[in-house]
Structure 1
């Protein structure tokens, strides 16, 4: 990063403020007196603002699942011109139809996206690898990658199809949302609720990462069950922004993703004009290194579900539309145990990405599993450690071992991930991925 960019990042950081707690009832005002007292929508909102409710769930859903926030803004969201459809670029949405996608039972792995060929912001840099379900029915998910080299200028984005879980791998992001500012660096994740407008500004020369678009029920923290009251992701570590608004006149392009298509309208003001808000539907940022890992202290490798950060429940208890799982730094101390992930076939489909370092079940280096790359193991595809990892782990001395030089994650979903034709034809799709399991010798002797 250049010295000027470093100074800019420092100034931005000094202007950020957060309130903590996932799913809590938060409130914030950028101007004292902007929040009304006692009533959500008084006859005259304070300071000449407009009161507006943003609902992330149906009005009548149970209280513990209901998500909504009240926004007090300079202009109501309804004050905008008509939207017109624009090109979607490399962005795709389920249901995939015709020859747009492939249901492939093979193990697949990709290298990172290549560098953009011209000025490319976050929205233009979105590239869909695959997904499942139906955004129009609010079921399923999609896996996107992004690679950007310029900030969104005079442009704002919102996704009516689902919430966005943004996983930076290279370069920091400043997310200017209707609720305020979030700073997301590699090692963080940022959650933008369905329909919330935001702009992405780069804190470095380029930015690269992953996005899970969740069409289904909003992400929530998983139940802890026998673990008890503490462990995994702590609610207090999820940081919601404090109110920060743009009182800005002039043309701003607002791009809305709706039922798989992009629609654009030019406003005469910034829609990021919320002066105060309160509620439990907010964007968040979370530092993955704060994840409280729960693992075995006797023998055997725990199932990867023990690493779940967020889950989107489905109509079947325990069967998620999508889980977000992180393999954070941790100690391994299991006795008489093969410590890397075991060989397995799974009813769930797994897309795995790498943020930094190396993953303990995969070889790194050229042609391997590298930061910015990803692998897809669809339901019932057999996978596990590669031959090199298996040989090394089978002969390792089982002393306490700290895994601290890698940060990997997984989007896990109940349905197969259909890969887009652009993903299957991509130059960065690795050929011969199956070869990593070749040479696993027969050791059985009757």
Structure 2
């Protein structure tokens, strides 16, 4: 199914959209006129403080059949068994971690929706003080029907790995396939439909919102270009609904409220606080054409900045197909330790630095100051390779959630999922001491 989308001309720009079934449904001149067209209600959704600086101020006006306030009281919703914000479930563990591909729900047996299939792997911070992040895996096999989720705690960056997601939001619909991503900002209600067992990754940030990184000396063009991001076109659900469940993620827990109408009743909207998607194949790679190895920050698609300049709560980084042409250089990722946490996932293919053991649908976590780098096979091959121009990572898409925060792993991540690879450390054990002193 293909849904109508419109291209973002740039982050921070103003957009407007109305369902083609209701022409002229956007009010003229006033955001909240005494009477809205078609008898609609005006409702503002704010993603920043009212008094935030203009370049940081985000909000969207929604013109809908009924206000969001028309619902019954929220009650606890315990259907997502492995969603957590408890970072003290397990003792700290600085070891390199690798997970084999996470199991998707079986096609037979109980259906699992996107909400029910969220499994928290690691995280840090506290949603109550709006500081931190969480990394989740979603594993689902049935659609969300007559229900919607919204996240009061922060933004969701969703990375499908297997299975196409048909996502309906209050602002419209979009299809997100593997090798694409989408961002659902804090507070925007959405539902996910699937046609087959589906698996993917979620980066949730409690601080601010995702934005494009500054380009510095790169200049005006490069990396993820604003023109390649898409946001939905207004669409409303006109079907009769006798009972609809609104699920709220609030302070790390889920709650549900019932109502007698769909939340997808927005006929028109305008503003700059929107869900959006991006095709990772459109990323414009920047790389060295002489010698030496650039830092992986050149592969940043989106970032959620912290209050410290140049330091991120979270970066979303990819390692796409590209040409490698450096001379006199060890081309794969170098051995390193750093002050960031690195959670990696693999959407498809084989990751260039570890072609064995790191499989699509799995993950790795290299914690702050924990050493890591290429395995033995990769090191030996790259050290002896004929350094001619070479196309690398063809048919592959690896990514990284990188954070300045020290991430704690959940009990599900360590024990329950039974996918943690206890032999991961062995990939470095056969590295030899090649040191020589010529007499």
Give the TM-score taking structure 1 as reference length. 0.94
**Aligned residue for 2:136?**
144
Residue matched to 1:59: 50
Contact 1:325–1:410 (CA<8 Å) still a contact in 2? yes
In the aligned structure 2, how far is the partner of 1:133 from the partner of 1:276? 36
Say if 2:104 and 2:199, in contact at 8 Å, map to a contact too. no
Distance in 1 of aligned mates of 2:428 and 2:29: 64
Task: Please say if residues 103 and 416 of structure 1, whose CA atoms lie closer than 8 Å, have aligned partners that are also in contact.
Answer: no
The Cα of 1:284 is off from its aligned counterpart by 0.3
Alignment of 1:255-270 (within 5 A): 255-270=247-262
Q: 2:368 aligns with which of 364, 375, 379?
A: 379
* Shift in CA distance, 229/219, structure 1 to aligned 2, threshold 3 Å: same
**DSSP-derived class of the 2:381 partner:** helix
Q: How many residues align?
A: 428
Give the equivalent residue in structure 2 for 1:16.
4
Contact kept in structure 2, 1:131 and 1:419, CA below 8 Å: yes
- 2: distance between equivalents of 1:79 and 1:160? 18
Distance in 2 (alpha carbons) for counterparts of 1:317 and 1:268: 47
- Conserved in 2, the CA contact under 8 Å of 1:326 and 1:408? yes
Aligned-pair CA distance for 1:33: 1.1
Q: Of residues 351, 370, 387 in structure 2, which corresponds to 1:359?
A: 351
Question: 1: CA distance between counterparts of 2:304 and 2:84?
Answer: 18
Provide the residue aligned with 1:338 in structure 2. Answer: 330
Encode CA deviations 1:241-276: one digit per residue, 9 max, x unaligned.
000011333201111110011101111010111100
In the alignment, structure 1 residue 241 sits paired with structure 2 residue 232? yes
The SS at the match of 1:128 is: strand
Alignment map for 1:13-162 (pairs within 5 Å): 13=2, 15-21=3-9, 22-30=11-19, 31-87=22-78, 89-94=80-85, 96-97=87-88, 100-117=89-106, 118-162=110-154
Q: Structure 2 CA distance, aligned partners of 1:161 and 1:276?
A: 26
Aligned counterpart for 1:200 among listed residues 192, 211, 225: 192
CA distance in 1, matches of 2:135, 2:155: 12
Residue 88 (structure 1) shift:
5.0
Q: Which residue of 2 aligns with 1:228?
A: 219
Indicate how the Cα distance of structure 1 residues 79 and 417 shifts in structure 2: closer, same or farther if over 3 A, else same.
same
- Cα deviation for residue 86 of structure 1 reads 1.7
1:295 shift after superposition: 0.5
Q: Contact 1:90 / 1:128 at 8 angstroms: preserved in 2?
A: no
Unaligned runs of 5+ in 2: none
- Aligned partners of 1:221 and 1:233 also within 8 Å: yes
Q: What is the alpha-carbon root mean square deviation over aligned residues?
A: 1.2
Alpha-carbon distance between aligned partners in 2 of 1:147 and 1:94, rounded to the nearest angstrom: 18
Displacement of 1:432 in angstroms is 1.2
| Counterpart check, 1:416 vs 2:406 | yes
Q: CA deviation at 1:133?
A: 1.1
- Unaligned stretches of 5+ residues in structure 1: 1-11
TM-fit CA distance, 1:95: 5.3
CA shift for structure 1 position 91 = 3.7
Aligned-partner Cα distance in 1 for 2:79–2:294: 41
Corresponding residue SS for 2:243: strand
Question: Match for residue 389 of structure 2?
Answer: 400
Aligned partner (choices 199, 202, 218) of residue 209 of structure 2: 218
**Partner residue of 1:251 out of 243, 246, 258:** 243
Partners of 1:93 and 1:135 within 8 A in 2? no
User: The residue matched to 2:55 in structure 1 has which SS?
Assistant: coil
What residue number does 1:282 align with?
A: 274
1:352–1:342 Cα change, 3 Å: same
| Rounded Cα–Cα distance in structure 2 between residues aligned with 1:217 and 1:256 | 19
The CA deviation at 1:20 is 2.5
Match of 1:189, SS state, is: strand
Segments of 4+ moved more than 3 angstroms: 90-95
Q: TM-score, normalising length from structure 2?
A: 0.95
Aligned 8 A contact 1:95 1:134 in 2: no
Q: Determine if contact 1:214/1:322 at 8 Å carries over to the other structure.
A: yes
**What are the superposed Cα offsets for residues 175-216 of structure 1, whole Å, 9 maximum, x if unpaired?**
0000000110000001001011111011x3111110001111
